[in-house]
Amino acid sequence: MRFVRFGPSGQEKPGVLDAQGVIRDISSIVHDIDGRSLAAGLQNTLAETALETLPVVPETERLGPCIGNIRSFIGVGMNYADHALETGAAIPTEPVLFNKAPSCINGPNDDIIIPRQSRKTDWEVELAIVIGKRASYISSLDAPSVIAGYCICNDLSEREFQMERGGTWNKGKSCPTFGPLGPWFVTADEIKDTQKLDMWLDLNGERMQTGNTSTMIFTVPYIVSYISQFMILEPGDVITTGTPPGVGMGQKPQRFLKPGDKLTLGIEGLGSQSAKVIGAE
């Protein structure tokens, strides 16, 4: 199934795409698309529902982040060898982890805001994992059993804040609007092989990133297992898994976002995002 959240920011309602790709309002059945509904068996709840009988959501409705009430938003850095090389970083021997503040989460087509004092705001198309069951010390073999599904994340990053201001990466990863998720949350059964997904990103119509999840250093099951050795993963937690080459800091000369730019990006089977870049007030 493909789930969405629609409506004004902070007031999103849950929806699902029917067989024709029409969004149907499911707010009479579930309260939201979040950890609580995932833990309760969201997909099973709708299994016997005739989706075509549910109210149609107008195409003009804003799409919000496809998962609500996210508790933990975890990032994996340098997870594509060719991306590590383009940035001059060593290829990691273990996953590099960081946190993105849940307050940075954005709708897939909402404006992206360049932070105050920013000179190096960058883009990163990524596959994001949505956790569906509580997981602690889980094995790679069992990790798929706790994955509810997947979505697109644009792991926006302010490179000066991230790399040149000391401390951890978090300060360059958590600025407002730096975590667009969606358009859809796609359940795991819809994705046959998470390690064979094409991905792309265009800046103002120019292709910047072309990649495939087959070049990940650490696979999806390994990432979930690895993180669960250090923290408890809860339903609704999101893990964004790294980006292929083509980011702004890897360009020669380097190239970063500016007001008026437009980003479009997508991953096979997960839809696409389209966002305008604006400056901070």
Read off the pLDDT band of 186 (50, 70, 90): very high
Contact 274, 263 (CB under 8 A): yes
Peptide bond into 259 cis (omega under 30): no
CA-wise closest residue to 85 among 175, 217, 200, 187:
217
The pLDDT value recorded for residue 89 is 78
Average pLDDT over residues 79-105: 90
The pLDDT value recorded for residue 205 is 98
Question: What residue ranges define each of the domains in the chain, with the CATH number in brackets?
Answer: 2-53 (no CATH), 73-279 (3.90.850.10)
The pLDDT value recorded for residue 90 is 83
- pLDDT tens, residue by residue, 31-73: 999 999 999 999 999 988 999 999 999 999 999 999 999 999 9
- Other C-beta atoms closer than 10 Å to the C-beta of 51 total 15
User: What rounded mean pLDDT belongs to the chain?
Assistant: 96
Contact 241, 102 (CB under 8 A): no
The pLDDT value recorded for residue 281 is 82
Rounded CA-CA distance 133/236 in Å is 8
Contact 92, 242 (CB under 8 A): no
Read off the pLDDT band of 249 (50, 70, 90): very high
Q: What is the pTM of this model?
A: 0.97
Q: In this model, does residue 84 exceed pLDDT 90?
A: no
Q: In this model, does residue 83 exceed pLDDT 90?
A: no
- Read out DSSP for 220-267? HHHHHHHHHTTS-B-TT-EEE----S--GGGSSS-----TT-EEEEEE
Read off the pLDDT band of 88 (50, 70, 90): confident
Q: In this model, does residue 166 exceed pLDDT 90?
A: no
CA-wise closest residue to 11 among 62, 72, 71:
62
Q: In this model, does residue 87 exceed pLDDT 90?
A: no
Q: Distance of CA 154 to CAs 88, 92, 183, 187, Å?
A: 21, 22, 11, 19
Average pLDDT over residues 9-26: 97
Question: How far, rounded to the nearest angstrom, does the alpha carbon of residue 235 sit from its chain's CA centroid?
Answer: 15
Hey, what amino acid is at 65?
Answer: P
Read off the pLDDT band of 272 (50, 70, 90): very high
Task: Please name the residue ranges forming H helices in 80-159.
Answer: 81-86, 159
